[in-house]
Structures are given as C-alpha cells and as structure tokens.
Structure 1
Amino acid sequence: MRARPVLAAALLAGAWLGLSAPLPAAQDRGETERKLDAIKDELRSVAAERRRLEGQRGTAHRELREADEKVGQSNRRLREIEAELAAQREALDELEARRATMQAAMSGQREELAQLVRAAYAQGGDAPLKVLLAQDSVAEANRLLTYHRYMQQDRMKRIRELASRLEALDAVERDIAARRQVLEDSRGRLDAQLATLREDRNAREAVVANLDKRYKSRRDREQALGRDAKGLEQLLARLRAAAAKAEAERRRIAAERAAAAA
C-alpha cells in the first residue's frame, strides 16, 4: 500500500516539472514581441520623418509656385517690352521716311533758290533796276518787281517751313530714340532678372523633386512597416491564444493527476 502514495507523489512532481519547463511557444512569443517592438519604434521614427518631409514638401511646392508666377510675370513684361519696341521701331521708320521726303523737297527748293541767286548775281546788284528799265511802262515794271520779290519771299518761307518741320521731326525722332533706349535698357535688365528667376525656379524644382522622392520613400516604408506590425500583432495574438490554451490544458491535466493521486 505504500507504493501507491509514492507513485502519486512522483506523478505530481512530474506534472509540476512539466508546468515549470520553458516552452518553445513562449520563446516564439517573446521573439515576436521583440520584433514587434522594434518595428513599432522604427515606424514611429519613419512616421515622424514623413511628417517632417511633408511639411518641407508643402513649403517647397508653394515656393515653386511663387517662382513660376514670377517667371510668368517677367515673361509677360518682356513680351510687352518687345511689342513696345516694335511699335517704336515702326514709328521711327515712318518718321525717317517723312524726313527723307521733306529733305528731298527742301533740297529742291534750295536748288531753285540757288539758281535764283546765281541768276541775280549774273545780272548784277542792279537786277531789279534792269527789270524796271526794261519795261515800257512803270506800272508793268512795278508789277514784275513785286512778283519777283513775292516769288523769292514765298520760296524762302517754304524753305523755312520745311526746315521747321524737319527740326520738329528731329525732336520727335530724338524722343522716340530715347524712349527706345530706355526700353532696350529695361529689356536688358529684365533678361538678366528672368535668367536669375529661371535659375532659382529650376533649383526649387530640383528641391521639390528630391523632397517628393524622399517623402514617397518614407511613406512607402511607413506603409510596409504598418503591414509588418499588423502581421506580427496577428501572429502574437495567435501565439498568446495558443499559449493560453496550452496553459489551460496543462492545468486541467495537472488537476486530474492531482485528483488521481489523492
């Protein structure tokens, strides 16, 4: 009869030894928890970097839009200046054509006057007197002298008028030329400014492209880590459920053995 209590004690001791022994499932669960913690740490770091890049990316995109607007404004102003220069060139061409016509007319008038002067010189200083003496009547002579003076005065008046108009044209030409020079200077400065703006815009575009690339990389990594974490959480839940089930089964067996040994 003493063998039965000894056997029961041995069975009970074996059951407790089995309960206290390390289980592979517990090791797997611990390893999974460590992996999950590491992934969550990296996930928090990647998410923080992604948010930081998102802010920088928004700022860079806004600055790029502003740079595009500045380039667009400069391009529009440059087109306006080109149109103004074309109009000024056309106006100058028209004025130069008018001046050439007037100069030709004045040249003809001057040639005619020169002929009159040469004729008067050939006749001598007493040409009006000769005209007077060559006539049969004093009235006819006076009429011819008056006509002669009128013709000379008319020619001189027309020459002075042409000269005055040419001076006015020259003044307008100088004004247009000055305005055209101002426009040329403005275009030169605007070309330099536009080149700088385009360079700045291209640099900002490169920054945006780099930030977009880094942001996409961090976003993709964050999503991948999220999937990994979810998978590990599901695995850990299954391992915990299995461990709880195994623990319950061991307790049940231990209880049955203890009851049998009593």
Structure 2
Amino acid sequence: MAALRIALAAAVVALALAAPVAAQQQRDAERRLQEVRRELRDVATERRRLEGRRGSAARALRAADERVAAASDALRRTESELADGELALAELAARRGELQQRLAAQRSELAQLLRAAHAIGDHAALKLLLAQDRVGEANRALAYHRYLQRQRARRIRDLATELSELDAVEREIAERREALDQARERQRRQLAELERERGQRAGTVAELEQRHADRRDRENALGR
C-alpha cells in the first residue's frame, strides 16, 4: 500500500509539473496561429492594393504606347512630306536648268538678229543708190528681221516670266521644307521623350507584376 501511495503521489506531482508546460505550448501555438492569420490578412491586403496599382500602371502603359505610336506616325508623315519636297525641288531644279538653256539660246538668237538687222540698216542707203530694184527686198528683209526680233523678245519675256514663277515656287517649297525640318526635330525629341516615359512605365508594370506574384505565392503558402 505504501508503494501504491508513493506511485500515486509521483503521478500527481508529474501531472502538476506537466500542466504548465502544456498550457504554455497551447498559448504558443495560439500565438503562432494569430501571427499567421495576421500576416495572411496583411499579405492579402497588400496583394489587393498591388492589383489596383498594377491595373492603373497597365492602363498608363497602354496610353503611353498609343502616344508613342501617334508620335511615330506623325514623324513618318513629316519625313514623307520632306522626301516629297526634296523630289519637287529636284524636279524644279531640272526645269530651271532647261529654261535657262532655252533662255540663253533665245538671247543668242536675238543678238544675232540684232546684228543682222543693224547690218541691213547700215547698208540700206548704199543699196538704194546702187540698185533701186533691190530696195524693196532690203526693206522686206529688214521688216522680217524686226518681226523675228519681236518674236524672240516676246519669247524671252515669256521665259523670264516662267523663271520668275519658278523662283517663287522654289522659295515656297524651301520655306515649307525648313518648317518641316524644324517640325521633324521637335517630333524626334518628343518621340524620344515618350519612348523614355514608356520604358519607365513598362518597368513599373514589371515590378508590380513581380511583387504581386510574390504576395500571391506567400498568401498561398500561409493558407496551407
């Protein structure tokens, strides 16, 4: 009986000693559970916040893409207009060369006619004295030369007018080209700035995507 009482007493003592340890373990488990739940709530809240930021960043990136595309189209149109202007100037330069050659030829012919008419005029009186029957022929030749002179002079005036009009067109195209050159430089700078901004927004989207994925993985791990 004494041995039994001793065994019972030992058991009671053991239970008394084990009870605080079990209680502490229970409290520790509950505390860890609360910490996990709190972290899970925090992670879920952060994930939802990142979803909102990610959506806003993605919309901003799409808008940046549209601005870059619009700026690229505008730059291409400007460069196309510049190419057309260069072609037009080249065609006008060729036309100018042709007109200048024709003008030089007309002036040369007019100079020859003037010299011939002068020669006929100088010899008209002598011909009148030497051969009365040739006076009419000389007068007709002189009249014909004067007619040719008027024709050449009129043609020269027409060519000069055409060259003057050509000058005006060339000036207009040159002024337009200068304006387009300036516009192209502005558009290039604008496009470079938009592409830089677009790159920054793409980086922001990538960063938010990664952070969101990390929070989702952590949330899944805590929920197991």
* TM-score of the superposed pair, with normalisation by structure 1: 0.73
Once the 2 structures are TM-superposed, how far is the Cα of residue 26 of structure 1 from its aligned partner? 4.8
> Which of 173, 196, 215 is residue 218 of structure 1 equivalent to?
215
Q: 1:141 to 1:131 in 2, by over 3 A?
A: farther
Distance 2:147 2:127 in 1: 16
Distance 1:196 1:135 in 2: 91
| Matched residue, 1:257 | none
Distance 2:105 2:132 in 1: 31
- Kept in 1: contact 2:113–2:148 (CA 8 A): no
| Matched residue, 2:168 | 171
Once the 2 structures are TM-superposed, how far is the Cα of residue 93 of structure 1 from its aligned partner? 0.9
Matched, 1:68 2:65: yes
Matched, 1:184 2:187: no
The residue type equivalent to 1:174 in the other structure is R
Can you give the 5+ residue segments of structure 1 that lack an aligned partner in the other structure?
228-262
| Matched residue, 1:258 | none
| Matched residue, 1:108 | 105
- Kept in 2: contact 1:57–1:211 (CA 8 A): yes
Instruction: State the Cα RMSD in Å.
Output: 3.1
Q: 1:139 to 1:19 in 2, by over 3 A?
A: same
> Which of 73, 80, 103 is residue 83 of structure 1 equivalent to?
80
Distance 1:27 1:200 in 2: 57
| Matched residue, 1:143 | 140
> Which of 31, 43, 48 is residue 46 of structure 1 equivalent to?
43
**What is the 5 A alignment of 1:115-154?**
115-120=112-117, 123=119, 126-127=121-122, 129-130=124-125, 133=128, 136-154=133-151
- Kept in 2: contact 1:128–1:145 (CA 8 A): no
- Kept in 2: contact 1:132–1:142 (CA 8 A): no
Once the 2 structures are TM-superposed, how far is the Cα of residue 58 of structure 1 from its aligned partner? 1.0
The residue type equivalent to 2:150 in the other structure is Q
| Matched residue, 1:92 | 89
Once the 2 structures are TM-superposed, how far is the Cα of residue 132 of structure 1 from its aligned partner? 6.8
Distance 1:214 1:89 in 2: 53
The residue type equivalent to 1:82 in the other structure is E
Distance 2:139 2:40 in 1: 120
Once the 2 structures are TM-superposed, how far is the Cα of residue 131 of structure 1 from its aligned partner? 8.6
Bigger mean CA offset, 146-155 vs 23-32: 23-32
- Kept in 2: contact 1:56–1:211 (CA 8 A): yes
Distance 1:57 1:209 in 2: 9
Q: 1:135 to 1:112 in 2, by over 3 A?
A: farther
Number of aligned positions between the proteins: 218
The residue type equivalent to 1:83 in the other structure is S
Once the 2 structures are TM-superposed, how far is the Cα of residue 25 of structure 1 from its aligned partner? 5.4
* TM-score of the superposed pair, with normalisation by structure 2: 0.84
Matched, 1:29 2:19: no
Distance 1:147 1:131 in 2: 19
Distance 2:40 2:213 in 1: 15
CA deviation map 1:173-232 (0-9, x unaligned): 1111111111111111100111111111111111112211211111211111112xxxxx
Say which structure, 1 or 2, has more relative contact order (CA 8 Å, 6+ apart): 1
Can you give the 5+ residue segments of structure 2 that lack an aligned partner in the other structure?
none
The residue type equivalent to 1:64 in the other structure is L
